[in-house]
């Protein structure tokens, strides 16, 4: 069996928003293995993003335990979480979150400058097929291109895990498929563990495992016997 | 360059207008301080250097006639470093092509040239040659007013005899930086001159061979001025000495000191307020701008940047803006400081100017601005960096809007939907609204504090020249004259009314507080030299007792009914006790006033006068001038009209110029604040407004929603702004008030209106900029960013 990357025990998260309390994760248990491609499916508010944020060190759990390899993330303070993100995690967000005042190259350099063994920014951009557009500003790029810059930025540090929150959510199907292709390519070439949140059920076919979410819990886990390639996807 | 620095640079380019507006607010604050302190220090240093290089004396005394041998005894008074005895006499001048009577104060020069004290600065020409009794040196202002050059001629009536004089030199003197003729309130360079001439010549005219009528002393550094004065008075007493006085009571020094004091008080009051207001405003503004960066801060953290690195990035952003502001402010402040120094230098006719560099002021102003800006940014940063990145990357939770009124009272029945949005937006972000209002109130306030000075000057002119001293002219005598001299003057051509005026120098004391003042005696029902009480009503002088400037009463801590002790410094020098009978509203000097007869009784003398106040028939003015010139007993005529014109041209100009400079800087600050408020609320609400556009609102409607809020906040800010302005004006007026001059606090309605109009104009301009932005609002991009 492959190495364990994440393991969660009774992971719980409560949000207080104004006067209401929202239970986003209810005592969730989970294991993720090295090199896996995992797709998280489920309706809005079912806890997918909350889980991904906690796994990526972007947010704190209210209770329970979460380990990254041997490191207990739920014990880390802000400084520890920052170091964890810096060394191990790459993020891809639905709305790309590029810095508008920086070019594609510079957006990637933003991360390579603070990483230990990064790729060169142009190398990362080449991996997502963006060599010709490295010196364009986000506003000069299409949505798909912007998302691929975001992926390049996420992988440039050679992260152990790539956490993608609705990476194709804002894209049309053709561009979406290119983005998925890029993510799978990273997984194949670098062995990076990839977690993808999506509303798009057809994407589940590219995963090793699919986690179905409902009401802050994993309601079902499906294991694909055979993964499809991105090119085979249709939506 | 690090990638974050590239971002910094590009952000600055993107936000250039706002960054510049903030930099200008900082520049406004910094330049007021640099200007005020710079000019003040330069003028103070100039004065010190002038006094030192030209041996300005420390103690002054007049005497009727004292033998020169007495000078040796005076020099032996402990603490006296140098003594200069001389002759000083007032005389009427007769100047070709100049109808009005002018007065000269004739001062003797030693035969061998420069006096040891109060040395002249020769601007042009030379000192009189020994033995040339017709050669004179005159003050520069007088020479300029009459286009005199070395070689010019004029005449003087010296001791009743007309004498032709030739100008050989034009000079400045530290003793007469500010030269005021007899009976006058303001310097009038056309009609008053200091004339230096050979001692031999003056002595023979006035029969003062081997004698002196004026003595000035330079003291040692550790000498006690009071003790020297007491001993000097004792020595001079039997020679008809008038009480000696120190620099504090020397007219020129006192007026110069007062001028600097006004500048000093202005610079201690307005600039710190400006700087603090600017600091507060950049604090609030930068805090809001940083808060707008919330999502990018969250992203940088998500990418693995440490809090310190993120904070440093934004602090660098602020350092750049503050640096731009400080550089602009320092440059403008230095330039304005030089301008003000030169303006004052011209006014006082300093022979040279010493410009003092004040690096400490630049550093302090920069540090305060930077500190305020960083604190503002850190306040916002602290709130954001403590958020988990996942939360920071989301827009902030919507504020908790509440119904302010019961459901049954549907606010929308009264207000349109945009108005409801505006009301909710303000009530939902009360702190932000409060800060915006506070910023604009302060802007209005500092505008009022700089604008009100002009109105105050007019009020001072009104009370002084039109309510209280209503005479057209004051005719002063060389020596005091019996009361019948008034009738003599009254019979001159063109005189409509004449009133006696008697002045006696005294020391007035209450407890251990003491001042040297003049007590004037005037008729009880005086119509020309009226006295005005603190409610601005003319009052009849009480039969007995002393009326005094309310300012003097305040200094002495005396009230109506209290007794004050008075040393009479003329005639039989007695010490008497007088009740304070009335308080008088006056703005120039501190003085006592008494009923003419009561003062004569107090002096134990038959009624005498020093001067006569007259009202003139304007058509016969020239005849009056000619007649006056024929009177050997007259030392000078002060014209009220001329005095007022001089006041407006000179002193008022200094004050109003300063006020205008400060108003300009206040306007810059006001504009920066309002502009930033408008721009930031546009950024904060860009998404909401774009959504409205998507829903079908027109650009005009969207603009109205945003501007309605700006308009309401701007208007709400005005009343507190007026209160702040009045408070600042009060502080400034209180701080600028002095014994030589003060003002009544008058903030005209028009001042409030003008200040508010300037802030509203800034708001309108900002609205135009915002309109351009709204027209460019890219609906799709705004909505595509995450929510």
Is there a contact between B166 and B152 (Cβ–Cβ < 8 Å)? yes
Q: Does B10 touch chain A (CB under 8 A)?
A: yes
Which residue among A78, A97, A101 places its CB closest to the CB of B11? A101
User: What is this structure's pTM?
Assistant: 0.79
Residues 375-394 of B with CB under 8 A from A: 386, 388-391, 393
Please tell me which residue of chain A has the smallest CA distance to B392.
Answer: A58
pLDDT confidence tier of residue B107, bands split at 50, 70 and 90: very high
Q: CB distance B3–A58 less than 8 Å? A: no
pLDDT digit string (tens) for B523-575?
A: 888 888 888 888 888 888 888 889 999 999 999 999 999 999 999 988 788 89
Contact A93 B389 (CB under 8 A): no
Residue with tokens 């705004």: B782
What ranges make up the beta strands (E) of B420-545?
473-482, 495-510, 513-522, 531-532, 538-539
Which member of B304, B400, B785 has the closest CB to residue A82? B304
End-to-end CA distance of chain B: 32
Confidence check: pLDDT of B253 > 80: yes
Give the residue with greater pLDDT, A117 vs B105.
Answer: B105
User: What pLDDT score does B236 carry?
Assistant: 92
When the candidates are 3.20.20.60, 3.40.50.300, 1.10.645.10, 3.40.50.2000, the CATH number that belongs to A35-61+86-232 is 3.40.50.300
CA-to-CA distance for B694 and B279, rounded, in angstroms?
Answer: 39
**What is the predicted pLDDT for the residue at B787?**
39
Residues with Cβ within 8 Å of A116's Cβ and at least 6 positions away in sequence, in order, are A87, A157
Mean pLDDT of A108-114: 88
Q: How far is A52 from chain B (nearest CA, A)?
A: 10
Mean pLDDT of B263-279: 81
Only one residue has tokens 């208007």, namely B715
Work out the average pLDDT over B329-356.
91
Question: Is the pLDDT at B727 greater than 60, yes or no?
Answer: yes
% of chain B beyond a pLDDT of 70: 95
Alpha helices in B3-120 (DSSP H): 3-14, 16-53, 70-75
Report residue B339's pLDDT band, with 50, 70 and 90 as the boundaries. very high
On the question of pLDDT at B786 being above 50, the answer is no
CA distance A70 to chain B (A): 20
Give the pLDDT score at B780.
58
- CB-CB under 8 Å, A85 with B390: no
Which residues 291-320 in chain B show a CB within 8 A of chain A?
Answer: 295-296, 299-307, 309
Mean pLDDT value across residues A46-55:
92
Residue B205 Cα to chain centre, angstroms: 43
- The pLDDT score that the predictor gives to residue B145 is 92
pLDDT given for residue A12 in this prediction: 95
DSSP E strand stretches across B585-726 = 591-595, 608-616, 634-639
* Helix or strand holding residue B139 (H, E): strand B135-139
Neighbours of A80 (CB within 10 A): 14
Give the separation between CA B775 and CA B698, rounded to whole angstroms: 10
Residue B426: count of CB within 10 angstroms of its CB: 18
State the pLDDT at residue B404.
57
Instruction: Report d(CA B459, CA B738) in Å as an integer.
Output: 17
**pLDDT higher than 80, residue B84:** yes
Range of weakest confidence among B6-20, B94-108, B408-422, B597-611: B408-422
Most confident of A137-146, B550-559, B705-714: B550-559
Average the pLDDT over B151-170 and give the result.
Answer: 92
The pair of three-digit structure tokens given for residue B553, joined into one six-digit string: 């009463």
CA distance B595 to B600: 9
Give the C-alpha separation, B193 to B141, whole Å.
Answer: 8
Task: Reply yes or no on whether the pLDDT at B406 is more than 70.
Answer: no
What pLDDT is recorded for position B407? 53
What integer is the mean pLDDT of B619-638?
A: 86
CA distance B210 to B200: 9
Task: State the pLDDT at residue B782.
Answer: 57
Give mean pLDDT, residues B389-403: 71
Residue B152, pLDDT > 60, answer yes
- Sheet architecture: strand order including B80-86: B80-86, B211-219, B59-67, B245-246
Residue of A nearest to B11 (CA): A101
In this predicted structure, the answer to whether residue B213 has a pLDDT above a threshold of 50 is yes
**What was the pLDDT predicted at B409?**
56
Q: For residue B154, what pLDDT band results from cuts at 50, 70 and 90?
A: very high
* Cα separation, B228 vs B65, whole angstroms: 20
Q: Which pLDDT band holds residue B1 (cuts at 50, 70, 90)?
A: low
Residue ranges of E strands in chain A: 4-17, 20-33, 37-41, 63-68, 71-72, 89-92, 161-165, 193-198, 209-214, 217-223
Q: What is the mean pLDDT of chain A?
A: 89
The pLDDT tens digits of the residues spanning A160-205 come to: 999 999 888 877 888 888 889 888 988 998 899 999 999 888 899 9
Cβ contacts (< 8 Å) between A157 and chain B: which residues? Answer: 304
Contact A111 B304 (CB under 8 A): yes
Tell me the mean pLDDT in the region B757-762.
Answer: 90
* Cα–Cα nearest to B566, from B577, B551, B579, B581: B577
Banded model confidence at residue B408, pLDDT cuts 50, 70, 90: low
B228, B25, B20, B192: which is closest to B106 by C-alpha? Answer: B192
Give the whole-angstrom CA distance, residue B101 versus residue B94.
7
Mean pLDDT of B649-676: 82
What CA–CA distances, in Å, run from A58 to A73, A77, A78, A85?
Answer: 11, 11, 9, 8
Confidence of residue A18 (pLDDT cuts 50, 70, 90): low
Q: Least CB-CB distance to A101: which of B10, B393, B785? A: B10
Mean pLDDT for the stretch of residues A92-108? 86
Q: Note the ipTM here.
A: 0.83
- Domain residue extents for chain A: 35-61+86-232
Residue A32: pLDDT band (50, 70, 90) is very high
Distance CA B670, CA B441 (A): 9
Who among A18, A56, A110 is closest to B3 (CB)? A110
Question: To the nearest whole number, what is the mean pLDDT of chain B?
Answer: 87
What is the DSSP secondary structure assignment for residue B582, as one 8-state letter? E
Supply B181's token pair. Answer: 């003729």
Distance from CA of A139 to the nearest CA of B (A): 9
CA dist B656 and B642 (Å) reads 19
Residues in chain B within 8 Å Cβ distance of A79:
306-307
| pLDDT single digits (tens) B279-336 | 887 788 888 888 888 888 888 988 889 888 888 998 898 899 999 999 999 999 999 9
Chain B residue with Cα closest to A85: B304
Could you tell me which of B425, B362, B446 has the C-alpha nearest to residue B684?
B425
The pLDDT, as a whole number, for residue B588 is 82
Residues of A with CB under 8 A from a CB of B: 17-19, 49, 53, 56, 58-60, 78-79, 82-83, 85-87, 89, 91, 93-95, 97, 99, 101-102, 106, 109-111, 113-115, 139, 153, 157, 170
Using the beta-carbon criterion (under 8 Å), do A85 and B302 form an inter-chain contact? yes
């Amino acid at each position: 069996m492959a190495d364990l990357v994440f393991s969660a025990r009774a992971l719980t998260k409560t949000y207080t928003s104004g006067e209401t309390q929202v239970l986003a994760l209810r005592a969730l248990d989970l294991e993720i293995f090295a090199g896996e491609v995992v797709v998280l499916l489920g309706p809005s508010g079912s806890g997918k993003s909350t889980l991904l944020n906690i796994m990526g060190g972007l947010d704190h759990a209210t209770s329970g335990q979460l380990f990254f390899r041997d490191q207990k993330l739920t014990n880390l303070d802000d400084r520890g979480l920052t170091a964890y993100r810096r060394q191990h995690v790459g993020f891809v967000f639905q709305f790309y979150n590029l810095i508008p005042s920086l070019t594609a190259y510079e957006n990637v350099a933003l991360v390579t400058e603070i990483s230990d063994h990064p790729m060169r920014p142009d190398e990362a951009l080449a991996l997502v097929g963006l060599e010709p557009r490295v010196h364009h500003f986000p506003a000069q790029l299409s949505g798909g291109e912007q998302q691929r810059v975001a992926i390049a930025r996420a992988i440039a540090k050679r992260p152990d895990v790539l956490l993608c929150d609705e990476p194709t959510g804002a894209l049309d199907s053709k561009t979406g498929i290119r983005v998925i292709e890029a993510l799978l390519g990273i997984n194949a070439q670098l062995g990076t563990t990839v977690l993808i949140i999506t509303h798009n059920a057809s994407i589940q076919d590219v995963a090793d495992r699919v986690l179905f979410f409902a009401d802050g819990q994993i309601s079902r886990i499906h294991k694909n016997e055979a993964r499809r390639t991105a090119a085979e996807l249709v939506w | 360059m690090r990638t974050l620095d590239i971002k910094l640079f590009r952000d600055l380019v993107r936000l250039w207008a706002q960054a510049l507006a903030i930099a200008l607010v900082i520049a406004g604050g910094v330049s007021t301080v640099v200007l005020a302190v710079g000019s003040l220090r330069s003028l103070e240093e100039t004065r010190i250097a002038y006094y030192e290089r030209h041996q300005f004396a420390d103690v002054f005394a007049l005497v009727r006639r004292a033998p020169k041998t007495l000078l040796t005894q005076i020099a032996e008074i402990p603490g006296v470093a140098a003594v200069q005895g001389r002759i000083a006499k007032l005389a009427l001048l007769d100047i070709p092509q100049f109808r009005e009577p002018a007065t000269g104060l004739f001062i003797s020069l030693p035969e061998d040239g420069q006096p040891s004290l109060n040395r002249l600065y020769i601007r042009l020409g030379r000192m009189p040659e020994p033995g040339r009794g017709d050669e004179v040196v005159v003050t520069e202002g007088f020479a300029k007013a009459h286009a005199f050059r070395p070689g010019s001629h004029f005449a003087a009536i010296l001791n009743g005899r007309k004498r032709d004089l030739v100008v050989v030199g034009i000079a400045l003197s530290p003793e007469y930086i500010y030269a005021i003729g007899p009976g006058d309130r303001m310097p009038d360079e056309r009609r008053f001159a200091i004339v230096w001439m050979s001692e031999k010549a003056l002595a023979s005219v006035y029969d003062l061979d081997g004698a002196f009528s004026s003595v000035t002393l330079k003291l040692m550094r550790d000498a006690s001025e009071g003790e020297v004065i007491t001993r000097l008075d004792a020595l001079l007493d039997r020679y008809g000495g008038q009480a000696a006085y120190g620099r504090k009571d020397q007219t020129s020094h006192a007026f110069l000191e007062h001028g600097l004091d006004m500048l000093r008080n202005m610079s201690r009051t307005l600039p710190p307020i400006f700087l603090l207001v600017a600091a507060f405003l950049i604090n609030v503004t930068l805090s809001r701008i940083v808060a707008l960066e919330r999502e990018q801060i969250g992203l940088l953290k998500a990418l693995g940047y440490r809090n310190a690195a993120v904070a440093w990035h934004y602090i660098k952003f602020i350092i750049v803006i503050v640096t731009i502001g400080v550089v602009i402010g320092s440059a403008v402040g230095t330039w304005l400081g030089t301008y003000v120094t030169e303006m004052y230098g011209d006014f006082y006719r300093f022979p040279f100017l010493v410009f003092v560099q004040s690096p400490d002021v630049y550093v302090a102003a920069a540090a305060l601005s930077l500190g305020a800006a960083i604190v503002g940014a850190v306040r916002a940063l602290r709130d954001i960096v403590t958020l988990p990145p996942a939360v920071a990357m989301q827009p902030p939770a919507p504020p908790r809007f509440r119904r302010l009124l019961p459901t049954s009272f549907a606010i929308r029945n009264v207000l349109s939907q945009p108005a409801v949005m505006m009301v909710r937006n303000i009530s939902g972000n009360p702190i932000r609204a409060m800060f915006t209002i506070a910023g604009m109130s302060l802007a209005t306030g500092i505008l009022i504090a700089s604008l009100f000075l002009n109105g105050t000057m007019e009020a001072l002119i009104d009370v002084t020249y039109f309510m209280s001293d209503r005479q057209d002219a004051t005719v002063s005598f060389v020596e005091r004259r019996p009361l019948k001299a008034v009738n003599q003057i009254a019979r001159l051509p063109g005189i409509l009314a004449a009133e006696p005026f008697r002045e006696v120098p005294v020391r007035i004391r209450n407890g251990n507080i003491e001042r040297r003042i003049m007590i004037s005696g005037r008729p009880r029902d005086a119509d020309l030299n009226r006295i005005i009480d603190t409610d601005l009503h003319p009052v009849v002088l009480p039969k007995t007792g002393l009326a005094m400037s309310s300012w003097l009463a305040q200094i002495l801590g005396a009230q109506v009914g209290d007794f004050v002790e008075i040393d009479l410094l003329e005639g039989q020098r007695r010490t008497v006790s007088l009740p304070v009978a009335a308080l008088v509203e006056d703005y120039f000097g501190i003085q006592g006033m008494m009923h003419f007869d009561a003062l004569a009784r107090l002096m134990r003398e038959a009624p005498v006068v020093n001067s006569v106040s007259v009202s003139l028939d304007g058509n016969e003015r020239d005849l009056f001038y000619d007649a006056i010139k024929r009177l050997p007993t007259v030392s000078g005529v002060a014209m009220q009209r001329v005095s007022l014109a001089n006041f407006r041209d000179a002193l008022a100009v200094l004050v109003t110029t300063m006020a205008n400079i400060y108003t300009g800087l206040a306007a810059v600050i006001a504009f920066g604040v309002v502009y930033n408020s408008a721009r930031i609320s546009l950024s904060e609400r860009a998404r909401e407004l774009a959504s409205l556009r998507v829903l079908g609102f027109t650009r005009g409607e969207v603009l109205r929603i945003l501007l309605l809020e700006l308009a309401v906040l701007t208007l709400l800010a005005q009343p507190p702004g007026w209160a702040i302005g009045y408070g600042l004006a009060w502080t400034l007026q209180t701080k600028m008030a002095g014994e030589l001059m003060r003002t009544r606090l008058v903030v005209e309605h028009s001042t409030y209106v003008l200040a508010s109009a300037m802030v509203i104009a800034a708001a309108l301009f900002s609205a135009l900029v915002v309109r351009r932005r709204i027209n460019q609002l890219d609906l799709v991009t705004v909505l595509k960013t995450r929510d």
